[in-house]
């Protein structure tokens, strides 16, 4: 579009006055790596004119700070005549430690427009660090020994490497539509965004993010068809996530589930926590009754010293023929036996496999609300089976 005017003195030849272009730009991002990188912003004009246009810029710290995370500069950005775009490159510092932390942000601001006007005055630079492989946590809390009288350590995973051992663990992907039930709200993935090994811990991370029609992502790991167990003492040392709608679980299912189904296969819940009650965990067994759909028996354990996200605790069962006992930090809180099942089939004298997961929402915990922080993480230090 152009404006027209007439010259004085009766000369009606039109004079074309160009409309001032508008300058805008958008947020930019870059995944941080061990080496320095370059984040590029694209500064756009909504029209080309016959003269260069320019704006000055400054960069301001946010959660990203200069010179630690990036190099702050000032200067002038010029879009050449008859063109509609220029670029601004910002140096991003490398991070050899590859820390997992909230994404870092700084702001680029435009001012002092020349032959143009500024439609978008600022944009954010986002340094993507939320997927870093290195995450540590305070290791304080209860611990248990590597030996017990009368037992031998039959198997353990100390999570001491840098990757999950897929000779032992499976990633289950999908949602309850796969047949797991519970009306959970997350989509389980095999991505290292949702499960990874770092600093001696397995970490399962639930995120609030849109994924394949769901609003949350998480991970569900099993040893099905790879590691089955029957009887013994089992210790799992873990630090748990808490919050409305969060549901971490360390549990077992009968290895014959693919043939007899649930709950006939048996389910041993070593630990479940409903995030609304952060200082309470539950131990339960589930089976198929003679009549009805399912039956269960269990009990709650309350940690009077604080909630289960503050320190590591050890969740244990002592599993013998016809009986199971549940412990938290070696404190017995529930004992179940074959007598509790009555005349129904008792499935707990057969092989079972592990499942570790962090669910979001579902019939039991309900949905997250505005008080629920994300990401939510469960740290597992070790799982040990003594027989």
Segments making up each domain of the chain, as ranges: 19-128, 153-386
Specify the fold of 19-128: Immunoglobulin-like (2.60.40)
Its CATH class, for the domain covering 153-386, is: mainly beta
Using only the alpha carbons of the chain, give its radius of gyration.
30
* Neighbour tally for 385: CB within 10 Å: 21
| Sign of the four-CA dihedral 276, 279, 285, 291 | negative
Q: What is the pLDDT of residue 181?
A: 72
Residue with tokens 């007899």: 260
In order along its 387 residues, the chain shows pLDDT tens digits of: 343 344 455 555 555 556 899 999 999 999 999 999 999 999 999 999 999 999 999 999 999 999 999 999 999 999 999 999 999 999 999 999 999 999 999 999 999 999 999 999 999 999 999 999 999 999 999 999 999 999 999 999 999 999 999 999 999 999 976 557 788 999 999 999 999 999 999 999 999 999 999 999 999 999 999 999 999 999 999 999 999 999 999 999 999 999 999 999 999 999 999 999 999 999 999 999 999 999 999 999 999 999 999 999 999 999 999 999 999 999 999 999 999 999 999 999 999 999 999 999 988 999 999 999 999 999 999 999 999
pLDDT at 6: 44
pLDDT at 257: 97
Decide: pTM greater than 0.85.
yes
Q: Return the structure tokens found at 387.
A: 């027989």
What Å distances lie between residue 161 and 137, 139, 177, 206, 223, CA to CA?
A: 16, 17, 33, 22, 18
End-to-end CA distance of the chain: 83
Contact 313, 329 (CB under 8 A): yes
Q: Which residues, listed in sequence order, are joined to residue 77 by a DSSP beta bridge?
A: 55
Instruction: Count the alpha carbons within 13 Å of 329 in the hemisphere toward its beta carbon.
Output: 13
pLDDT value at residue 2: 41
Distance CA 202, CA 331 (A): 24
Residues involved in catalysis: 267, 272
Query: CA 237, CA 312: separation in Å to the nearest integer?
Result: 6
Spatial distance between the Cα atoms of 378 and 197, rounded to a whole number of angstroms: 12
What is the model's pLDDT at position 182? 84
């Amino acid at each position: 579009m152009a404006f027209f005017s007439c010259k004085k003195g009766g000369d009606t030849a039109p004079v074309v006055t160009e409309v001032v272009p508008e300058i805008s730009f958008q947020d930019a991002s870059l995944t941080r790596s061990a080496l320095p990188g370059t984040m590029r912003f694209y500064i756009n004009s909504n029209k080309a004119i016959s003269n260069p246009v320019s704006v000055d810029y400054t960069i301001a710290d946010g959660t990203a700070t200069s010179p630690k995370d990036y190099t702050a500069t000032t200067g002038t950005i010029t879009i050449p005549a008859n063109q509609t775009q220029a670029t601004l490159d910002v140096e991003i510092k490398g991070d050899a430690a590859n820390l997992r932390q909230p994404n870092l942000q700084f702001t680029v601001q435009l001012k002092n427009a020349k032959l143009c006007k500024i439609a978008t005055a600022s944009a954010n630079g986002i340094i993507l660090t939320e997927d870093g492989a290195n995450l540590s946590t305070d290791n304080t809390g209860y611990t248990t020994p590597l030996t017990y009288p009368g037992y031998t350590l039959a198997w353990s995973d100390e999570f001491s490497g840098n990757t999950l051992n897929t000779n032992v663990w499976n990633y289950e992907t999908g949602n309850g539509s796969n047949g797991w039930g519970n009306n959970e709200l997350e989509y389980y993935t095999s991505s290292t965004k949702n499960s990874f090994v770092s600093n001696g811990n397995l970490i399962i991370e639930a995120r609030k993010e849109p994924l394949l029609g769901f609003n949350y992502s998480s991970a569900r790991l099993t040893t099905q068809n790879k590691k089955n167990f029957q009887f013994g003492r089992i210790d799992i040392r873990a630090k748990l996530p808490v919050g409305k709608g969060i549901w971490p679980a360390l549990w077992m299912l009968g290895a014959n589930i693919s043939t007899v189904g649930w709950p006939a296969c048996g389910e041993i819940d070593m630990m479940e926590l409903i995030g609304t009650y952060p200082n309470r965990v539950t131990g339960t067994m589930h089976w198929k009754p003679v009549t009805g759909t399912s039956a269960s028996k269990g009990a709650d354990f309350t940690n009077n010293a604080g909630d289960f996200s503050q320190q590591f605790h050890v969740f244990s069962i002592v599993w013998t023929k016809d009986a199971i006992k549940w412990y938290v930090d070696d404190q017995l809180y529930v004992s179940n036996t074959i007598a509790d099942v009555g005349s129904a089939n008792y499935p707990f004298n057969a092989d079972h496999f592990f499942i570790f997961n962090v669910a979001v929402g579902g019939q039991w915990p309900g949905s997250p609300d505005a008080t629920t922080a994300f990401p939510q993480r469960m740290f597992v230090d070790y799982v040990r089976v003594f027989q």
